[in-house]
Every structure is written in structure tokens, then in C-alpha cells.
Amino acid sequence: MTGPRFPALIRELPETVPFVGPELQEREMGRPFRARLGANENVFGASPRAVEAICASGEHVWKYADPSHRDLKAALCDKLDCAPENIVFGVGIDGALGDFLRLLVEPGDAVVTSAGAYPTFNYHVDGLGGVLHKVPFRDDHEDIAALFAKAAEVDAKVVYLSNPDNPMGSWHAGEVIEAALADLPEGCVLALDEAYVEFAPEGTAPRIGVEDPRVIRFRTFSKAYGMAGIRLGYAIGAQPLIRAFDKIRNHFAMNGPAQAAAQAAVQDEDWLAHVLAQVDDAKAHIAEIAAASGLTALPSATNFVTVDCGRDGDFARAVLKGLIERGVFVRMPGVAPLDRCIRISAGRPEELDVLAEELPRALAAARGGD
């Protein structure tokens, strides 16, 4: 009796996943977290109109959802000033990135990203047999000039840039990206991850023509729209590239309730403004909590705050461990020198009260090991 015959590429991949979910950590600890502040979820929730749309669509779950996503595309086109043919959906940004890379990357193809940037992008590249080239952050920002120079050096097919950035919360003004495009090498596509752009200052999103073949932009309903659980992301790009997704995408991946919820959310600008205000308040509170313990909160254009613990990665990992042991779920960057920090998502006041109580204790425990 024989089992499956995995290709050599799959056999050689490590048995890892990009993120360990808090639920797994809770099961291992045997208790729930007191404050869930690690996954950059929007704890302030989805638009009530979106929730109503999900409930109303329940009676129609017997039928397949529209695989062309016509109505949702129409709602987004009004917001993005593009045509329906410029938009394609995926299972979160993760799924959209995976489909995009599947279109372009063959075994051995060069792909450029920042060391310490979003690990799921790397996960997809590795799974396709692409060769990752990583460029260090510069002053806690992704280094656009170095990324594009590396792409030219290795003849990369794709460069990944998140703006605003995860895990540091930093950002570049849109005009900086616009100017840098002149240095993107011929035949290379910039994958611009804008998952957090709704939280960012005015002018963060670059003004790039939607039919510019050099750029594809990725956005999501998981962050500002508060619907991480429905797994809905999308890409915006030139029509020939977007049309190519039809060759490989799962046409029925997006369910009907998700389409209805996203359409309602896009049209509820008041709720989005409410969420952004709540996030700003939470980030200010996190900065105050950090300062009270002698730590520095870095500027953030996202729904999280990256806090500099003031020492090296070993110390920050000890702080992280202490917080998790005390029921506070947070995460941290995984690459030096970024790993001197911990990353704290915007939370409800009662969750931040737990953070304020436990951060000094976690710091004291970490310093006790000196």
C-alpha cells in the first residue's frame, strides 16, 4: 500500500505556517486570553449594515453566489474610480496574493521583499519554488530604493511592498512611491499591499493609473471594515493582468453573505469614520501605556502600535512571553533589528486596561533575567 507521491518541491518545504493562531495558544495554555491584542483585528466590529446584510442573505445560502461579483464590484468602482474589469477578489489578501504569484512565479524565479515583512507573501513564493531575495528595513521603514535596486540586480519578476507596513506600522507618502516607479526594472511588477491604507494619513496611497501594468494593489475587508472572519480581499490592476486571474482563480470562492456584507460595508462611510476614530483613541492609549513603562511607541499608520522595548530581540521576546503568560496576546517582528519591538493591536478600553496592568509586570520579569 502506497501513499501520495509529493513533488520534490513540496517534500522539501518546511512544515510551518505563517502564523500561530491565538486559539491554538489558548488550547495549549488551557485558558483564554484576557486581552486579544495580537492579530490586528478590528475589535470595533463591522458596520451594522454589513451584519444585517449577512443575516438577510441567510435564506439564500442554498444557491451559489455570483462568481462575477458584479454588484460588489460596482460598489467598489464608485469608491476606487476604476472599472469592474480592474478588480479581482481573493480569500483575504492572502488568497489574492497567492493567486497573483501563481500567475507569475515559476520555480527559480526571483522575487524581492523586505526582511521581516509580511510572512504569508514569502510562504506563497516558497510554495511555488520562487527564490526570495530580502532587503533590510531602513530606519524602521521598508527601503523602496534598495528593493528596486535588488530587483534589477536579480531580474526579479515581483517586488513586494506594504504601505503602510506590517509589522512596524511605518509608511511612505504616496508621492515617494510614485517617484520611485521610474526605477522599477522593466518586466517587474510591484505588488503593493495596502491592507492598512484606510488608517493612514491623507496622501499615503499613491496616485497610480489603474491601467499602469507595473503595479497591482491589494486591499482587504479584514482591517478597517472589521470583517476578518469572512476572508475577503481584492486586487486592483490593469485589465490584462486582472483578466488573467480568471485562468486560475476559484470562481466560487467568495460566498453570498460575504458579498452582501462587503457591499453594505463599502456604502457605510459613517461607520468607517467611527471605527477610525476608535482606533486612533486606542493607539493613543497604547502609547500612553508604553510611555508609563519607559518604552517608546513608534509612529503608526495602521490599527496597531509597534513598541520599542529598548533592548535586543532576546529581551523583547522575554517581554512577549511574560505578556502571554499573563493572558495578553501580542506579537512581535521576527527579524533583527525589528525584533527589539513588540506589536500591539488597537483594543477595547477594557483590554487595554489589562495591558496597562500586565505590561509593567512582564517588563519586571524580563529584567529579572539580567
pLDDT tens track for 303-322: 999 999 999 999 999 999 99
What pLDDT score does 348 carry? 97
Over residues 134-166, the pLDDT tens digits come to: 999 999 999 999 999 999 999 999 999 999 999
**Is residue 194 predicted with pLDDT exceeding 90?**
yes
Residue 257 to residue 56: CA distance in whole angstroms: 8
**Band of the pLDDT at 369, cuts 50, 70, 90?**
low
Question: Which CATH number does 57-267 carry?
Answer: 3.40.640.10
What pLDDT score does 254 carry? 87
Over residues 243-292, the pLDDT tens digits come to: 999 999 999 888 999 999 999 999 999 999 999 999 999 999 999 999 99
**Is residue 18 predicted with pLDDT exceeding 90?**
no
**Is residue 120 predicted with pLDDT exceeding 80?**
yes
**Contact assessment for residue 160 and residue 117, using Cβ atoms and an 8 Å cutoff:** yes
Percentage of residues of the chain with pLDDT beyond 90: 90
Residue 73 carries which side chain, given as an amino acid letter? K
Handedness of CA 250, 79, 279, 294 (dihedral sign): positive
Greater pLDDT, 13 or 183? 183
pTM score:
0.95
Q: What is the mean pLDDT of residues 118-131?
A: 95
User: Where are the chain's structural domains?
Assistant: 8-45+270-367, 57-267
CA 100 to each of CA 186, 196, 212, 234: distance values in angstroms, whole numbers, following the listed order: 18, 19, 16, 11
Helix (H) or strand (E) holding 322: helix 313-325
**Is residue 99 predicted with pLDDT exceeding 70?**
yes
Task: Write down the residue that cell numbers 510611555 correspond to.
Answer: 291
What pLDDT score does 204 carry? 98
Question: Beta 304-308 vs 296-297: how paired, if at all?
Answer: antiparallel
CA 148 to each of CA 113, 122, 143, 348: distance values in angstroms, whole numbers, following the listed order: 10, 17, 9, 39
Superfamily of 8-45+270-367 according to CATH: Aspartate Aminotransferase, domain 1 (3.90.1150.10)
**Band of the pLDDT at 19, cuts 50, 70, 90?**
confident
What pLDDT score does 15 carry? 82
* Helix orientation angle between 313-325 and 349-367, rounded to the nearest 10 degrees: 130
**Is residue 370 predicted with pLDDT exceeding 70?**
no
φ/ψ region of 263 (left if φ > 0, alpha if ψ in -120 to 50, else beta) reads alpha
Average pLDDT, the chain: 95
What pLDDT score does 108 carry? 97
